[in-house]
Structure 1
Amino acid sequence: MITDSRATPSPLSAAVRNNALWCDAVCRSHGVVGTAERGVWASAVRTPPLYPDAVTLSPTATPDDVLPRIDLASPGASVKDSFGSLDLSSAGFEVLFEARWIHRAATESAPSRSEGWGPVEGAARLLAWEAAWSGDGESEGLFRPALLDDGAVFLAPTGTGPTGSDATVTGPTGSDAAGTGPADTVPVTAGAIAFPGASVIGISNLFAADDDLDSAWRDCLRATDRLWPGVPVVGYEHGDDLAAAERQGFAPVGPLRVWLRTGA
């Protein structure tokens, strides 16, 4: 497990550490416990789908710090090379993708309105969020309710404000809703995960069913500014997603690579 730090890190260090904390939280929610040492967080057993078996925490970490601590006997090992500084090709790895860490400085003031995106509450709504994020309407239980108790906030349209006003509300609302409200019945058409740690808010898994990434980032940032006023926001993106993030005030602060083991 990675322990959080009270020191104020650089934008790059904050982004790397926040993401490692998030990976650690997802793994622990599945009963997979990783450890951090020698500048690397790693799990000796295979991690949940889409999450790395190791994350480098220092630019001085070497393949010898990473490879002995992960499972190389079964296929599919992956490593998040947080500084783009490793060469794992001789161990049978190939670069799965490259991206850029991004950082958005804290805003001076937070908007007072509570419209737009808001936190997902409850296991059923979390399943609906994951089904929308997956793109195929299915949920495999990757994101478990324990994450809601571990600080993760899954953001989605609430049914009010710029995003939700165009959404169709289905099912009961109000006093006859039997414990549900408008936010629980609005179809999940966009969303993101916000995770506090390392003195920043990490954003990941941002999506929009209509592919309007600029609107999705605007609504996401309005929500983070409201929920965590005065706190910087970090993440990593590539391609069109990176371009959209930059248009909303993010600046690239460093490279990263994700390696996947495809050979013996």
Structure 2
Amino acid sequence: MDLLSSAVTNNVDWCALVCRRGGITDNTNGIWLVTGSPAPLFPDAVTLKSGVSARQLSQVLSGRKACSVKDSYADVDLEPYGFSELFTARWIGQTNGPKNADPTGWSHLTETAELESWCAAAELPEVLPIGLLRDPSVRILGAYREGRLVAGAVANSSDRVVGISNVFQVGGDRRAGWGEVASVVARFFPGKPVVGYEHGPDLDAALAAGFSDLGPLRVWLRSPAQ
């Protein structure tokens, strides 16, 4: 299995779920484009393969003054087309299963009020679509200690892998938190490799918890002033 390409495809699946209206997949040019406006913090377009044409991407997004691109292989130079680099990150994956025992205190959220509290703790700009609570491919996970939400993550399952995103922890050891997340995801989606992407301290914590570095990605942003 090409774990990197599976991670890219899984992430596009997640973007389509959250953006509600899905998107358009152009396999010829290797671009996924969200239909309409994306949800906050989500890209307008994602590259599906390496070597995508920067000019083609620019043309696809020509009608959008403010937009962003997830350059999945960090090999598209969009600066000449009015974009600036927002951040770089690394794709991560774990194929051998979690090293930690199944932790206690974690649960799968099922109620709207739980989701609202979870999104506030995760510092998201708006509540995720309520329909995700009933989607069989998604688990919104929360860890509770003495009745208080202390950590969380999202898992979305596709054909070959499970993606994790929005991992957060309120205090505590980030490395231990990432180890727990991997174990909880394996409980709900056993036998599948776990993938995602991170940068900064969360990347360090994920690698320390047993994830492997699969390669770089880059996010580009074009604002109305550019």
Query: What is the TM-score normalised by the length of structure 1?
Result: 0.78
Of 133, 138, 145, 1:148 maps to: 133
> For the Cα contact (< 8 Å) 1:20–1:41, is it kept in 2?
yes
Cα drift, residue 214 of structure 1: 1.4
Shift of residue 109, structure 1, vs aligned partner:
9.8
Q: Quick one: which amino acid aligns to residue 95 of structure 1?
A: E
Report if aligned partners of 2:98, 2:182 keep a CA contact under 8 Å in 1.
no
Tell me if 1:83 matches 2:73: yes
Write the mapping of 1:1-264 to structure 2, written as runs, cut at 5 A.
Answer: 9-28=1-20, 32-37=21-26, 38-70=29-61, 72-75=63-66, 77-107=67-97, 115-134=104-123, 140-141=126-127, 143-150=128-135, 151-157=137-143, 164=144, 167-168=145-146, 186-262=147-223, 263-264=225-226
Cα gap change, 1:26/1:44 in structure 2, threshold over 3 Å: closer, same or farther? closer
Q: Is the 8 A contact 2:65 2:222 kept in 1?
A: no
Give the gaps of 5 or more residues in structure 2: none
Instruction: Return the letter of the residue paired with 2:14.
Output: W
Percent of pairs identical after alignment? 39
CA distance in 1, matches of 2:142, 2:22: 29
| Runs of at least 5 residues in structure 1 that lack an aligned partner in the other structure | 1-8, 158-163, 169-185
Structure-2 separation of matches of 1:198 and 1:15: 11
Change in 2 beyond 3 A, CA 1:45/1:118: same
* Corresponding residue SS for 2:122: helix
> In 1, distance between residues paired with 2:205 and 2:99?
23
Structure 1 window deviating more from structure 2 (122-131 vs 99-108): it is 99-108
Q: Distance in 1 between matches of 2:105 and 2:6?
A: 27
> How many pairs does the alignment contain?
222
SS state at 1:153 partner: strand
Structure possessing the higher radius of gyration over alpha carbons: 1
TM-superposed CA distance for 1:221, in Å, is 1.3
Q: 1:59 Cα shift? A: 0.5
Q: Structure 1 72/260 Cα, relative in aligned 2: closer, same or farther at 3 Å?
A: farther
RMSD over equivalenced CA pairs, Å: 2.1
How far residue 237 of structure 1 moved from its aligned partner, in angstroms, is 0.8
Q: CA offset at residue 126 of structure 1? A: 0.7
Shift of 1:118: 1.9
2: CA distance, partners of 1:109 / 1:211: 19
Output the CA distance in 2 between the equivalents of 1:208 and 1:110.
17
Separation of aligned partners in 2, 1:244 and 1:108: 14
1:62-108 Cα deviation digits (max 9, x unpaired): 12332222364433x00000000101111111000000000101429
In 2, the alpha carbon distance for the partners of 1:106 and 1:231 equals 9
User: Structure 2 CA distance, aligned partners of 1:214 and 1:110?
Assistant: 11
Secondary structure, aligned partner of 1:25? helix
Alpha-carbon separation, structure 2, partners of 1:152 and 1:60: 31
- TM-score norm. by structure 2 comes to 0.90
Distance 2:98 2:80 in 1: 48
C-alpha distance after superposition, 1:160-217 (max 9, x if no partner)? xxxx4xx22xxxxxxxxxxxxxxxxx32221001110141110101000105211211
